[in-house]
Structure 1
């Protein structure tokens, strides 16, 4: 008899997926984007939702339909596919996303309650935080129960309370747009969505979700794909709810948080105005739970993959990565973001190109040709965007459409896809005629 999951298990799986995605960037970037977007809130928000919600959902579906990372990259050389996965795991794991989550948890969840916060308090917090994440990550078989049925409902209820309060009692009127949000709010919001890292992480979180499904006794591949897609849909709905409420929060913070230097400050000031001293406690709970569940997901995904490549066990990898994250987290939030932004701009277009190719693969005349050429072009032009973010002078490439918005890769990649389809079609036709 084919085993199926109960509705409560499906919801827990979806909540777990939502919690893995909802981390540091998901909380600190939307309020700042909303404040700058102002009266152009809607197009900016739609742009952000495209890369922050739609692409992660599409990526989860792509992973489900392809049957995992190997199926997703089957038309690429195996060594290239492995290298790409390793680079993505390093960026979303020990090099950036996981330490960033720990830093944001400290800056917003603990530091406000410490009178003389310094390096020592950060170090102590990092050790405790990543030790807890390590403990939860080692319980792979119980991830759905630990995260989906316990931690995430608490997190979601706190977010709902915040969203309702913002809608009922907005602190300011929506003001004029600022910066790039004046002329091209959608594209600016689209690029800002890169900061969440979710579209990249979705390619690899799929492995963790599949493992969680199988831990419940599901062995049928079709059933596994179905539950993976259900989890993605639930997570996408949750993320959209959070982003929309935080965008609106930012858009109505123009006066009260005019002096804020980042999205975290905007959120802290706003919550304090809404709830008083109790607001800081609620915000701390939201941030700590969101960052903790994300780190658990990242450590689990990275350790699963690296243990499949090496002779080291999952337990050894998860311990090593937790220690590395703890060390890197002591670099400081601003420095970490500055160092890692170029990597985001280099990897995100590659991930998006790979996902889109997976959906149209069946109609490609020569999938191997299209995959390899399109990925090379996407990488080449994404490196231009990455170099610009890193501070290098790449003004010579300004002639490329959307260069100023960090999307120089888009049009060349689309052109490369069209060209490979034309060439692949002609080769296929000649082959049939010769036969």
Structure 2
């Protein structure tokens, strides 16, 4: 008889999955879209949940189904060069280039920025981020149980405070849900815009990197059969999906009702701080700031450790663990001083390129029972996706770059000839073509169909 997890154990793994995904940084995006999506709120939130919750859950399930113990191993299904490129690019994205600097700036925007004048923002950001990353480095160089213990207290406290805010918002709403016109980006194709907004959480990318943590946890609970591990991963994923969706819906609806009292903003950290002040006064504002700062600190430490460890595994003859930790912390500190909005805007082109590759890897891995680890299908699908995602990357570049003559011509070409390009999915049809072509070639080359079950 196959060992199965009890309900309580499934709940425990689901909670672990929630804790891995839901960081303080995730707060700002549903808060922002709640205010700015106006009458299109429902469609935008649905899109956000599809990519911000659904895809990350599928990423973990895909790793379990395809029996991959790491992102690098999954990438090797395409080839070794892709495995090195994608793993490196993904860890740099969820690490020192974007996600780690964002932890510092989110903490600053929630805890410090609302209390100082605009002309002193840059100076205070520099000082805050310097102290923040010195603390991060100190813990990352000597990883111990201190931050784990803080996390056991912090996450429940964090969720309790959010629950209090949400309950206040339900009992005593600031007003009706926003009836204002959506801002420009949410006026056309709100569902797909919401899906693209979900990319900003970076959780689908993180799911490929950290799936092994969930799989290992299930194994430690006594489940050894690989098919049963996949089933238990899916059940735990459903619990996480319900929890994260509830939080995101609550935050976005609370933010939407705040439009009646507060002016529209594009900085989720400050909007959340103002909402906390509205309901709980200075005490609530200070408590929220303290919790978010420590939560972001914990996330940053975990990411520095994870990135340093994967780099010494992939590139063993380069730097030591401590050297990587110092380098990644320094890079994160420098980028953090660009400010939250700048970091988000710079990350978008990269995410528009990496996310299609991650989505394709996830769905091909989910199809493992049908196609196995067929290199022809994986390689061709990734090749077509990688080529056509470049158009989405170019379109997402900052205006001063994307508006140049050469790039605007390329983008115009894509608009005219690539289906779904305007929606942000110009890569989708080429990816499907790659799958079909890979299947056909695999059928013709019968000797190569050892792992495909047609």
What is the Cα deviation at residue 194 of structure 1?
0.8
1:127 aligns with: 130
SS for the counterpart of 1:420 is: helix
Residue 397, structure 1, aligned to residue 414, structure 2 = yes
Tell me: CA distance 1:274–1:357, structure 2 relative to 1, closer, same or farther (3 Å): same
Measured against aligned partners, the alpha-carbon deviations of 1:254-306 in whole angstroms (never above 9, x if no partner) come to: 33233423333332333322223233224313432442333233223212211
2:59 aligns with: 59
**Structure 2 stretches lacking a partner, 5+ long:** 403-407
Rounded Cα–Cα distance in structure 2 between residues aligned with 1:208 and 1:318: 21
Counterparts of 1:105-116 in structure 2 under 5 Å? 105-114=107-116
SS for the counterpart of 1:252 is: helix
Measured against aligned partners, the alpha-carbon deviations of 1:14-48 in whole angstroms (never above 9, x if no partner) come to: 54543442235421111221223333322221111
Larger mean CA deviation between 191-200 and 65-74 belongs to 65-74
SS for the counterpart of 2:262 is: coil
Aligned with residue 302 of structure 2, among 297, 304, 328: 297
1:409 aligns with: 427
What is the Cα deviation at residue 148 of structure 1?
4.8
2:210 aligns with: 205
Residue 424, structure 1, aligned to residue 429, structure 2 = no
Larger mean CA deviation between 408-417 and 268-277 belongs to 268-277
Would you say the 8 A contact 2:110–2:272 is kept in 1? no
Rounded Cα–Cα distance in structure 2 between residues aligned with 1:133 and 1:229: 33
2:290 aligns with: 285
Instruction: Calculate the TM-score normalised by the size of structure 1.
Output: 0.86
Residue 189, structure 1, aligned to residue 191, structure 2 = no
Counterparts of 1:358-377 in structure 2 under 5 Å? 358-364=365-371, 367-377=374-384
Rounded Cα–Cα distance in structure 1 between residues aligned with 2:216 and 2:306: 10
Tell me: CA distance 1:285–1:91, structure 2 relative to 1, closer, same or farther (3 Å): same
Aligned with residue 347 of structure 1, among 347, 354, 365: 354
Larger mean CA deviation between 286-295 and 198-207 belongs to 286-295
Give the count of matched residue pairs: 430
1:90 aligns with: 92
Larger mean CA deviation between 68-77 and 9-18 belongs to 9-18
Aligned with residue 81 of structure 1, among 69, 83, 98: 83
2:245 aligns with: 240
Instruction: Calculate the TM-score normalised by the size of structure 2.
Output: 0.83
Rounded Cα–Cα distance in structure 2 between residues aligned with 1:119 and 1:293: 24
Would you say the 8 A contact 1:20–1:293 is kept in 2? no
Aligned with residue 170 of structure 1, among 162, 170, 173: 173
Would you say the 8 A contact 1:62–1:72 is kept in 2? no
Would you say the 8 A contact 2:277–2:285 is kept in 1? yes
Would you say the 8 A contact 2:37–2:44 is kept in 1? yes
What is the Cα deviation at residue 230 of structure 1?
6.6
Residue 161, structure 1, aligned to residue 164, structure 2 = yes
Would you say the 8 A contact 2:78–2:375 is kept in 1? yes
Tell me: CA distance 1:27–1:375, structure 2 relative to 1, closer, same or farther (3 Å): same
Tell me: CA distance 1:212–1:292, structure 2 relative to 1, closer, same or farther (3 Å): farther
**Structure 1 stretches lacking a partner, 5+ long:** none
RMSD: 3.4
